Chains A and B, each alone.
Chain A
Amino acid sequence: MSAPDITTPGDGVNAANAPVHPSWGALTSRLTAQLAFNEDRFFLILAVFIGIFAGLAVVCFRITMEWTRLYLLGSALTPSPWRAFLAPSLTGLVISALIFTVFRGATGSGLNQTKAALYISNGYIPLRTVIGKFILATLAIGSGHSLGPEDPSLQIGAGLASALGTRLNLSRKKLRILAPVGAAAGLAAAFNAPISAVLFVIEEVIGHWSAGILATVVLSAVSSVVTMRLFLGSEPFFRIPQVGVIRWEELLAYSVLGVLGGISSVVFALFIGWLRPKIKASPNYVQFLCPAIAGLLLGLIAFLGFPQVMGAGYDFMDQAMHNQYTWQVLGILAGLKIVATTLSFTSGTPGGMFAPTLFIGAMLGGAVGTVEHLLFPHLTGSVGTYALVGMGVLFAGFLRAPITSIFMVLEVSGDYTIILAVLVANMFAYLISRRLQPVPALEQITRQDGLYLPALEEEREQEVLTVEDAMRPRPAIILDSQRAVPDAWTTVQATNDEYFLVRRPSNSVAVMARADLKSLMDAEDVRPLEETQTLAVVPYLHPDEDLQVALRQATNYPLVPVLSRANVSRILGVIALADIMETYRKSNRPPQG
């Protein structure tokens, strides 16, 4: 095997051949080329417009939801018992009728559907689904079903982006990226939290970090939040008194919240995972009645004195943060919300899981905070702080988006003083949830639907193989490029290796094949190796680099040197394609490059 040709035409050659004074025609064609449609450039501009449209859609969605609530449940903070009893069940019937006749694809939260669209339908989401989600989620949440508006907003944003991309005839590659761009915009506007939206879309929708998409996602999220704030204001969702310095004892108290939050997340996920397949396996008429039955049961909970569990519940979260409830009531509300949300969600009523998750977390946090204050009155964190941290805890435990959960708490409260508490509690919840339930709730739902979509959570669980795991020790013979061919040939006689590393001036390393060296010997060439035109400069790797990176390099080169990061002239070892494949075989994992 001969080494690849190392001579490549450089820009200098082209520049030398180019005319010094370009003609009018050349100038015109260059200008035309500059001005011609550039999809990459246009895509960035489009991201801004997607953000604006998603922002406008979310504003309309939230306002329509409020109007619906006013008409169905009245203007009081807690609806009258009869309204609370009847509104969700009767609306449930209307929702079922619309799902079964017009909007078949509009069930669920919208999050998994968006992810499925990205990976299965090249990012295509039918406009009918978007309209259906808008109307049905509005009816469901406005009538008091225990669901939230965030996930539907995410799908509405993604759907609008998809519709726009389709009508603009963008390439399939760009169309696929448009859905997460719109999703981030929708979620950012719904939450008034651009950073969390970007992180969540990367963690949960796209499933992996990609620098290429980051700019467009950020642009769309920012423009949607700006648009939303123009109409709905920029106030943070929650206002709690700021916390002062958090002492280490206090962190122990927040850890307890993290542990309980992790356990609650698992209970919530198990409850959904148990009930959903049963409902999906039931006859059609039962499925038709499910939203109404869920509404009836929800109405019963409200009728019996806990109307707080209805709807998204943001106002009641605020009350919990302001110490309005006793710890017993907070605990009951957390438990009832798990039941209510499970009923609403598994019945197929369209609506999101974000707000209920935050509600459960806020109530649980409030309860834990109140009890801890009773036991240890010297704790400085208010009940509101615990409720806020609790929201993040459930978010980390149930949705398994630990990074997003941290930023989400900071963004919805606008309070950065609780960062330590959030970090500690969220990590406890995340680790416990991961330990007790290896498959995340959202993943479990997609698998119940027969879909297997990639997730960052899965990636996090995987052992990362590095170059160090596959590399061989430093070869005994490393040739110098200044050595003459006969001298080099004599040296290589000591081994049977097919390829040798050759150290070149300025620390670069080349590879030379034994066969090439033999040919030079046969031709009685006595020049130094450097002058023989047979050296192929190879890229190098470092021991900590991902094995997938090595795989790409080793496919093109017979041998790749592994150099020290501290001293790139120091060769630590070598790696070849066979070494990489052997390592993958031993680890029982296929390469994913």
Chain B
Amino acid sequence: MNLLKRDYIIREPLLISMLVLLTILFSALTHAYSAAYDRRRISLGQEWYAKGKQELKNSRPATAVDDFRTALVYDPGSWDFSTHLADALMQAGHDDQAANYYLGLWQRSPGNGPVNLQLARLSARKGDTVSAERYFNGAIFGDWPQDSATNRRAATLELINFYLERGDTGHAESELMIVSDNLPEDPQLHNLVAGLFGRVGDEPRALAQYRQVLQLVPQNLPALLGAGEASFRIGDYRAAEGYLTRALHVDDSNDSAKNLLAVVQSVLAINPYERGISEAEKIKRTLLLFDVAGKRLQSCGSGASSIPPYLERWKQLTSMANPHFLKQHPEETETLIDFAVSAEKVAESQCSEPTSNDAALLAIARQREMEAR
């Protein structure tokens, strides 16, 4: 100790050396102590994490929340613990708490796909369109731990559904066009995209998707049904008849296919605008339409307030409704068709379920409108 008290040259290096030695010694002891605690801490964290996952599997998110919270006490920086806690909170209906945890995770990794997707879902639930769009895009262009292409596509499809729920078909269609360009040869996926094209009203693209499925799996029932429906909506009734007939070959108990096929066949039977038919056939079909509308008005009766004037008009027009008159006055065929269409439209909103002939008449009306546009 005397050495330490005097101003020897060696005093300072000596003291520093002693302090360094002490530092090494205490650091080693602290390291051993802290390593022992770390092992215990990590094992406790994993125990509670496993317990939480089990609770989540057993559909007890509230208990899982407590377990994940405890797990986080032992490893506050754990990404897995935090994401599971946030998921559990979301499942338990605590959206605000979940959002806070996800936002914390997002700040740690703004490009993380799953976190962006969950934040997008939470924002969508809250009705925060701007944030939802931002996070959906974050998920679409973000990093995914595995199978990024599939996950990005799934995120895009969720975004499309989000747009559709909000009635924003324009944005939905543009996203759909992007998605459809890069679809793998997966019939289910093509059917899904085709269905979404159908929902945005883009029937030609929907039909193209169904056709791709049918090239891969010709007997794919959803694709045959979808293609039949799309063809029907486009006005290609012959193609629709073909697809629906094939669908019934695959599953002859499919009622929707049967019903739609009946309508298609009615259209084919009564459509006065079908190309290539003779003048006499057009008159014959016009009279059929007029007859279908009349029956519809009569069956509907005077229960609906708008029907009696139409019945009155129908009675007035029956004088024209004969082949002879129409042959002499072919321009009057349009008058009869116009009346049949408008009467059927009124009946659609006020009367009971239409027959296949009524549905066919309405389809013809829609096609006329589309062509006029």
Binding site for B on A (CB under 8 A): 32, 35-38, 41-42, 45-46, 49, 52-53, 56, 59-60, 63, 66-67, 70, 75-78, 168-169, 227, 231-233, 235, 239-242, 315, 318-319, 321-324, 382-384
Instruction: Name which of A227, A231, A322, A323 has the most chain B CB atoms within 10 A of its CB.
Output: A322
A77's contact among B23, B37, B69, by CB below 8 Å, is which?
B69
Give A321 to B34 CA distance when docked, in angstroms.
28
Find out whether the CB atom of B96 lies under 8 angstroms from the CB atom of A323: yes
- 1/0 contact trace for B1-43 toward A, CB 8 Å? 1001101110110011001001100110011011001001100
- What's the Cα separation between A231 and B26 when bound, in Å? 13
Are A315 and B97 touching (Cβ within 8 A)?
Answer: no
Q: Is the CB of A322 within 8 A of B27?
A: no
Q: B11 to A56, Cβ gap below 8 A?
A: no
Report yes or no: B77 in contact with A233, Cβ–Cβ below 8 A: yes
Query: Would you call B7 and A240 a contact (CB within 8 A)?
Result: no
Give chain B nearest CB distance to A80 CB in angstroms.
13
* Given the contacts A32-B9, A52-B23, A53-B23, A384 and B100 also touching, CB distance less than 8 Å: yes
Residues of A within 8 A of B4 (CB): 168-169
> Which one of A56, A67, A76, A323 lies within 8 Å of B37 (CB-CB)?
A67
Residues of A within 8 A of B74 (CB): 75
Q: B residues within 8 A CB of A77?
A: 66, 69-70, 73
**What are 9 A-B interface contacts by the 8 Å CB criterion?**
A45-B16, A49-B19, A53-B22, A60-B34, A63-B33, A75-B74, A77-B73, A78-B66, A241-B104
A223 to chain B, nearest CB (A): 10
Chain B contacts of A45 at CB under 8 A?
Answer: 16, 19
| Cross-chain contact A56 with B77 (CB below 8 angstroms) | no
- Per the bound structure, the CA–CA distance linking A122 and B41 in Å amounts to 41
Residues of B within 8 Å of A56, CB to CB, are 26-27, 30
A32 to B11, CA, bound (A): 12
The answer to whether A323 and B9 touch across the interface, beta carbons within 8 angstroms, is: no
* B100 x A323 contact (CB < 8 A): yes
- The answer to whether A323 and B34 touch across the interface, beta carbons within 8 angstroms, is no
Tell me if B103 counts as interface (CB < 8 A to partner A): yes
Q: Which residue of B lies closest to A52 (CB)?
A: B23
Residues on A with C-beta less than 8 A from B101 are 322
Q: How far is the CA of A77 from the CA of B45 in the complex (A)?
A: 11
Which residues from chain A contact B66 at a C-beta distance below 8 Å?
Answer: 77-78
- Tell me the complex Cα distance, A169–B101, Å: 53
Q: Are A76 and B70 in contact (CB under 8 A)?
A: yes
Give the chain A neighbours of B11 by CB distance below 8 A.
37
Of the residues A235, A242, A382, contact of B107 by C-beta under 8 Å: A242
Q: Which of B1, B23, B69, B107 contacts A319 (CB 8 A)?
A: B69
A63 to B39 Cα, complex, angstroms: 12
Is B44 close to A, CB under 8 A?
Answer: yes
B354 CB within 8 Å of chain A: no
CB neighbours of A49 from chain B (8 A):
19, 22-23
- How many chain B residues touch the partner (CB < 8 A)? 42
Residues from chain B with a CB closer than 8 A to the CB of A168 are: 4, 15
Instruction: Find B100's partner among A38, A52, A321 (CB 8 Å cutoff).
Output: A321
* Chain B interface (Cβ < 8 Å from any Cβ of A): 1, 4-5, 7-9, 11-12, 15-16, 19, 22-23, 26-27, 30-31, 33-34, 37, 40-41, 44, 47-48, 66, 69-70, 73-74, 76-77, 94, 96-97, 100-101, 103-104, 106-108
A235 & B27 in contact (Cβ 8 Å cutoff) = no
**A241 touching B70, Cβ below 8 Å:** no
Q: How far is the CA of A38 from the CA of B11 in the complex (A)?
A: 9
Closest to B5 in A: A169
The residue on A at minimum CB distance from B9 is A35
Q: Which residues on the B side are within 8 Å of A384 (C-beta)?
A: 100
* Complexed CA–CA distance, A539 and B257 (Å): 107
Task: Tell me if B15 and A42 are in contact (CB < 8 A).
Answer: yes
Q: Which residues of B contact A232 (CB under 8 A)?
A: 34
Please determine whether B70 and A322 come into contact, CB atoms closer than 8 angstroms.
no
Which B residues are in CB contact (< 8 Å) with A318? Answer: 76
Q: Find out whether the CB atom of A241 lies under 8 angstroms from the CB atom of B26.
A: no
Which 7 pairs from chain A and chain B are nearest by CB?
A: A241-B103, A77-B70, A37-B11, A322-B100, A239-B104, A49-B19, A37-B7
Residues of the B chain whose Cβ atoms lie less than 8 Å from the Cβ of A59: 30, 34
Give Cα A58 to B106, complex, Å: 32
Q: In this complex, which of B9, B47, B74, B77 has the most chain A Cβ atoms within 10 angstroms of its Cβ? A: B9
- CB-CB nearest in chain A for B105: A239
A358 to B103, CA, bound (A): 23
Closest to A231 in B: B34
Min CB distance, B107 to chain A, in Å? Answer: 6
Most buried by B among A59, A66, A75: A75
Q: Which of A42, A70, A169, A324 contacts B97 (CB 8 A)?
A: A324
Contacts of A233 in B (CB 8 A): 77
Residues of A with C-beta under 8 A to B76: 235, 318
Give the residues in chain A near B30, CB-CB below 8 Å. Answer: 56, 59-60, 231
Given contacts A37-B8, A63-B37, A241-B103, list 9 more A-B pairs with CB under 8 A: A37-B7, A37-B11, A45-B19, A56-B30, A78-B66, A227-B27, A240-B104, A315-B69, A384-B100
Report how far A232 CA is from B70 CA in the complex, Å.
18
Cα distance A233–B78 when bound, in Å?
A: 12
Q: Given B5, B34, B107, which contacts A241 in the complex, CB threshold below 8 Å?
A: B107
Alpha-carbon distance A36/B13, docked complex (angstroms)? 10
CB contact under 8 A between A240 and B100, given known A36-B7, A36-B9, A77-B70: yes
Closest beta carbon of chain B to A483's beta carbon, Å: 55
C-alpha gap A56/B26 in the complex (Å): 7
A240 to B108, CA, bound (A): 11
B44 touches A75 (CB 8 A): yes
Check if B100 sits within 8 Å of A241, measured CB to CB. Answer: yes
- Shortest distance from the beta carbon of B25 to any chain A beta carbon, whole Å: 10
CA distance A20 to B76 in the complex (A): 68
Give chain A nearest CB distance to B270 CB in angstroms: 58
For B12, list chain A residues within 8 Å (CB): 35, 37-38, 41-42
CA of A321 to CA of B101 in the docked complex: distance in angstroms? 10
